[in-house]
Structure 1
Amino acid sequence: MTATDFALRTHGVGKRYRKGWALRDCTLSLPTGGVIALVGPNGAGKTTLLRLVVGLLAPSTGTVEVLGRDVTASTPQTLSRVGFLAQDHPLYKRFTVAEMLRFGRACNLRFDQGLAERRLAKLGIP
């Protein structure tokens, strides 16, 4: 298999904060075309791993590749193929609806403005 045959690959990845390691020595390879669940107890590092995968955090050690590219060098084209919804509140509290849509368009090359507007209208959100 080649590097691009994997949706996600990590090698020895870890994230350290002042108090200690949130994730340590994580090595995995997830092939493209599959559905995979990430499960574990609270504090196991699941959210930290996902934040590393989408580039919201930089690893303290190791490497993370998404679709064959190091996440620290990922392009908008690569990251636009990855979906991530954090468990915390995903919206910016001070953004208006229009600002949130503008932000979505700027961050996602495949953003569907029409779909977003139809959903807002269906929900009665001006």
Structure 2
Amino acid sequence: MPSKTQKSLEALMAYIKQSKSRRTTILRGQGEPGHRAAPARGGNHDARIGSRIDIGEIVKKTGKEYRRYKFQLNSNAEDSTLKRKAAQDSHKVYSTADVEIKESRTQEEEEQAMRDF
């Protein structure tokens, strides 16, 4: 059985994938380190999902630039388990993903990048 953290990550990824603008923002590496990529702070999605993707630094690998994203839990999560974990350390990074920064992708490349994310 998946943990509540895993279920929260799955809900977060579904939230990101349902909006082309959210996907594009992430796949183009937009935003400032330390800010959120998704979901926006406040609103009903933030507490309901219980986790977030924060924007990290740009890293270089084999001559290409990647944006590092960090999966973290929200201290305002509706789920008591997630809320308790976040209260212990709301800046704890549970997972990271490096996404190659590209201005444009084909539909197939975008779908593959989201699967890899």
TM-score bucket (shorter structure) = under 0.3
| TM-score (normalizing by structure 2) | 0.26
Q: Report which of the two has the higher share of helix.
A: 2
Higher Cα Rg, which structure: 1
| TM-score (normalizing by structure 1) | 0.24
